Amino acid sequence: MSSGRSSVAVANTSLTVDRLDRLTDRVRSTTDETIAVEAPATADRIGSVPDCSDADVDAAVAAAREAHADWAATPVDQRAAVIDRFSELVVDHRAELLDLLQLETGKSRQTAAEGLFSVPSACEQAVDRGPEAVADEPRGGGIPLLTTATVTYEPVGVVGVISPWNYPVTLSMADVIPALVAGNAVVLKPDEKTPYATLFLAELLERAGLPDDVLRVVTGEGGAVGPALIDRVDYVAFTGGTETGRAVAERAGRNLIDCSLELGGKNPLIVLDDADVEEAARGATTACFANAGQLCLSAERILVDESVFDDFLEAFVERTRQLTLGTAYDYDAEIGSLIDAAQLDRVRSRVEAAREAGATVHTGGRHRPDVGPYCYDPTILTGVDPDSQIACEETFGPVVTVQPVESTDAAVAAANDSPYGLNASVWTGDRSRGQRVARQVDCGTVCVNDGFAVGWGATDAPMGGFGDSGIGRRQGDEGIKRYLEARTVATSRVGPLVPSDQLPMGWVVEGASTAWQAGRRIKRAVRSLRR
C-alpha cells in the first residue's frame, strides 16, 4: 500500500513506511478499495487503509461474537490484569504513540501527550472499579425476611465503538477499555483520518494478553461502515457531531439496542465579578485553544461580569498572543494544526462572516500557512451577533467569543441559552460560590477554576452531556455499567406467594397490611437515626 505516497512526513518521526503498512495489515478486509491518510502538518499522503465493505464488517462482528463467549467467562480479575498490562505498554511505547498521534492529527506534542496519558488513567479506573461493577448486588426483597432479590450483571455481547479524529487514542480507549473489562468483545471503527494510533493500541492490547478477535478494528467511511456496524452489534458507543449522533441513535433504536453518545457542545466559560482575572485569563487560553480548539470540552463562549470585563479581556488577549504555534516533534509549541482543509475552511469562513457583520477581532483571525497548511491563529472576538452561526453553533476550532454580562444570574441565563450542555467552567475567588453557580448550569460537567482538565481527570465520576450534547455517560461506574445487562433473581423462602386453601384471602390482606405498617415504622426510625 505504499505506492504513490510521500514519506517526507514519516521521515521526521521514529516511524517508517513499513511500520505503517504493518499496522494497516491488522485490518482484515477483502476489498481492494482504500482511503488515503494525510499528515495535516505537511498535507503529505502517508498511507492508506481499507475501505471496508459490509461483508468485512459482518466478518469482524461474527469473529468478535465467537470470541466473546470465552472472554465473558474469563474471571473479571484476569480481564482486569490484561488491561493493567496494557496500560504499562502504553507508557513504555509513548514515544512511538506520540509520533503516530502527531503524524496523523497535526497536534502539538504537548497536546498529544495530554491525550496519551489519559489512557493509563482510564485503565486504572477500569481495573479498580471493574470487579465491583460486575459483581452480584443484593437488593431488598418484596416481602422482608420472606423473599430476597439479587441483581446479576452480564456483558451485553459485542460493542461497536465509533471514535473521532480529534482525540483518536483518548476517546477510543475511553469506550473500549470499560467494555473489555466488563466482559464484552469490541469492534472498533476509528475515524478514517486517524487510524494508525488506534491500530497500534489494538496491537498493544494483543501483546498484553487480549485473546484473538476480542477486539477487531474496521476502517472506512463513516457513512458506510457505521450503519453496517450498528446493524450487527449489541451496543453502540459513538463520539462525534450531534447530527450524526441523531442518526446513530435512530438506527440503534430501530435495532432495539442501547447506545451512548458524546456529541457537540457550545461550551460556556463564566468569569464572575470576584475572579482573579489574570488566573482566569491563563486558564481560558487552555480552555479555548487546546488542540487548536478541536476538543468537545473546549470553551467557545466566554461570559464575563461587566465589572471585570475590560481587565479580563486585556489579560486574555495578551496571553493568547503569547501562545506558540507549531507541529514539530518536540515540546516547544503549544498549538498545532487543524485536521484538514475542510476544517480550516469552516473556521476561516465563520470568522470572516463575524468580521463582516461588525465583530471585532482582538487577536488572530489569520490562516498561518507559514506554520502549516491548515494552521490558524487563536482568535478572540467581541461584538458578535448573538444569533449568528459563530455565536450559536460549534465551530470546533481556535475561536472564542467574549461578551460582558451584568450579573451572575445573567451569566447563568446566557450559559443555559443553548441546546447544548456538555461542559462549562466557572471562575471565582470563592470556591463555594463557584460550586453553587455550577449547580445552576445545565451541563453534564461543570468545572470550577479550571477549563476542563479537572472534570476529565475525575475518572471516578461520570462524564456526558445534557440536551443536544448526547446521552449516556462514560467514566465512573456508569461508564462500565452501560456495557452490562442487569438480571434480577428473586427468591421466595416460603414457596409461592399466593393464597392457599388453609389461608383465606381476608387473612392475607390483613396480615400483609399489618406487616407493611410495621415495616414502614421501622424504616422511618432508621431514617431518623441517619439524620
- Provide the number of structural domains found in the chain: 2
**Confidence category of residue 501, pLDDT binned at 50, 70, 90:** low
User: For the packed helices 222-230 and 242-254, what is the interaxial angle rounded to 10 degrees?
Assistant: 30
- Please identify which of the residues 38, 114, 262, 300 carries the catalytic annotation: 262
**Confidence category of residue 228, pLDDT binned at 50, 70, 90:** very high
Q: Is residue 235 part of a domain?
A: yes
Percentage of the chain surpassing pLDDT 90? 88
59-104 pLDDT, tens per residue? 999 999 999 999 999 999 999 999 999 999 999 999 999 999 999 9
What pLDDT score was predicted for residue 171? 97
- Considering the domain architecture, whether residues 249 and 285 belong to the same structural domain is answered as no
Cα 470 to Cα 260: distance, rounded to the nearest angstrom: 7
Show the domain range for 369. 267-464
Q: Is residue 517 part of a domain?
A: no
Q: What integer best gives the mean pLDDT of the chain?
A: 95
- Considering the domain architecture, whether residues 31 and 158 belong to the same structural domain is answered as yes
- Considering the domain architecture, whether residues 258 and 276 belong to the same structural domain is answered as no
Query: Residue 311: pLDDT above 80?
Result: yes
137-149 pLDDT, tens per residue? 999 888 777 889 9
What pLDDT score was predicted for residue 499? 66
The dihedral region occupied by 4, where left means phi > 0, alpha psi between -120 and 50, and beta the remainder, is left
Half-sphere exposure of 277 (CA within 13 A, CB side): 17
- Considering the domain architecture, whether residues 195 and 297 belong to the same structural domain is answered as no
Q: Is residue 35 part of a domain?
A: yes
Nearest Cα neighbor of 145 from 497, 467, 528, 510 is 497
What pLDDT score was predicted for residue 529? 86
> Which residues 6+ apart lie within 8 Å of 415 measured at CB?
268, 270, 301, 303, 424, 441, 442, 443
355-369 pLDDT, tens per residue? 999 999 999 999 999
- Considering the domain architecture, whether residues 259 and 288 belong to the same structural domain is answered as no
**Confidence category of residue 13, pLDDT binned at 50, 70, 90:** confident
- Considering the domain architecture, whether residues 239 and 137 belong to the same structural domain is answered as yes
What pLDDT score was predicted for residue 5? 55
Query: Residue 307: pLDDT above 70?
Result: yes
258-297 pLDDT, tens per residue? 999 999 999 999 999 999 999 999 999 999 999 999 999 9
What pLDDT score was predicted for residue 498? 72
- Please identify which of the residues 259, 288, 296, 375 carries the catalytic annotation: 296
In contact, 1 and 32? CB cutoff 8 Å? no
| Count of positions (residues) in the chain | 531
296 assigned to active site? yes
Q: Is residue 1 part of a domain?
A: no
Nearest Cα neighbor of 302 from 142, 507, 451, 137 is 451
Q: Is residue 512 part of a domain?
A: no
Q: Is residue 504 part of a domain?
A: no
Query: Residue 335: pLDDT above 60?
Result: yes
What pLDDT score was predicted for residue 4? 47
Q: Is residue 154 part of a domain?
A: yes
**Residue 411 burial (C-beta neighbours within 10 Å; 0-12, 13-18, 19+):** buried
Please state whether the predicted TM-score (pTM) of the whole model is above 0.85.
yes
Average pLDDT value for residue range 476-483 = 97
What pLDDT score was predicted for residue 1? 36
Average pLDDT value for residue range 99-120 = 96
- Considering the domain architecture, whether residues 87 and 234 belong to the same structural domain is answered as yes
What pLDDT score was predicted for residue 7? 60
In contact, 501 and 458? CB cutoff 8 Å? no
132 assigned to active site? no
Percentage of the chain surpassing pLDDT 70? 97
- Considering the domain architecture, whether residues 255 and 347 belong to the same structural domain is answered as no
Sign of CA dihedral 473, 451, 127, 195: positive
Average pLDDT value for residue range 25-45 = 95
